[in-house]
């Protein structure tokens, strides 16, 4: 099975580095590995891949086995990873994401994720313009009085996780926030940013240019 390579480009969202089929058990192992990646600070999916201690015997006993069978028929290897990444990254707390939630709403979450990727430049311009129409750029990262405005924008649904990651790529604010904020809300978001970051492949200079143009307007 081919190693996953993130290809979250604006024009080519679902990574197509491999068209290999995936078995239900491999889909299950992807699920376990990605859940571990998004919830365990020490686990790195890009280092360990879909390695898991799960056995075929334990998998065959699962009541939700049918869903992994269905998913493996619908998606190839890389698409399965994209599908699961979209769901874990969208969860308020990936640790509490139950497989039943993915079964019930996973397709919709994946479709919304794909749509955001396909319009990544537009969404960055739109959300950043709105954010900076009300705030100075520097003030977005001021956490002297609690949650900074960029975090509030994300929590309020006015800034997507993808764009929060773009801002992190540009300004590297997480390290400073980690030192100054010690509440569980930021800790959850901080981990999510760090875990989601490597799945996004963007031209940082392009987004810097867009941001500079907005600031200079």
pLDDT at 159 over 60: yes
The predicted-structure confidence for 90-128, as pLDDT tens digits, reads as follows: 998 888 888 888 989 999 999 999 999 999 999 999 999
What is the domain extent for residue 99?
Answer: 24-117
Residues 93 and 125 in one domain: no
Return the pLDDT at 165: 98
Q: How many domains does the chain have?
A: 2
CATH number at residue 95: 1.10.8.60
Asked if residue 212 has pLDDT above 60, the reply is yes
Q: Are 16 and 7 in contact (CB under 8 A)?
A: yes
Please check whether residue 131 lies inside any domain of the structure: yes
Q: What pTM was computed for the model?
A: 0.87
Q: What is the pLDDT of residue 14?
A: 37
Position 19 in a domain: no
> Which of 117, 148, 167 marks a domain boundary?
117
Q: Residue 49's pLDDT is what?
A: 83
The stretch 11-39 carries a mean pLDDT of: 76
């Amino acid at each position: 099975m081919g190693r996953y390579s993130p290809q979250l480009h604006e024009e080519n969202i679902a990574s197509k580095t491999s068209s290999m089929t995936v078995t239900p058990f491999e889909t299950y192992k992807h699920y376990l590995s990605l859940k571990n990646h998004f919830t365990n600070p020490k686990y790195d999916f890009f280092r360990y891949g879909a390695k898991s201690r799960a056995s075929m015997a334990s998998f065959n006993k699962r009541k939700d086995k049918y869903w992994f069978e269905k998913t493996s028929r619908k998606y190839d290897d890389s698409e399965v990873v994209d599908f699961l990444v979209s769901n874990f990254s969208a969860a308020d707390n990936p640790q509490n994401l139950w497989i039943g939630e993915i079964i019930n709403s996973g397709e919709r979450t994946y479709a919304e994720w794909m749509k955001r990727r396909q319009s990544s430049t537009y969404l960055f311009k739109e959300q950043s313009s709105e954010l900076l129409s009300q705030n100075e750029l520097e003030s977005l990262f001021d956490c002297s009085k609690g949650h900074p405005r960029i975090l509030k924008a994300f929590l309020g649904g006015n800034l997507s996780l993808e764009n929060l990651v773009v801002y992190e790529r540009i300004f590297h604010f997480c390290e400073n926030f980690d030192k100054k904020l010690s509440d569980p809300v930021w800790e959850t978001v901080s981990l999510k940013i760090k875990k989601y970051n490597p799945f996004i492949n963007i031209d940082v200079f392009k987004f810097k240019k867009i941001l500079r143009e907005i600031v200079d307007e």
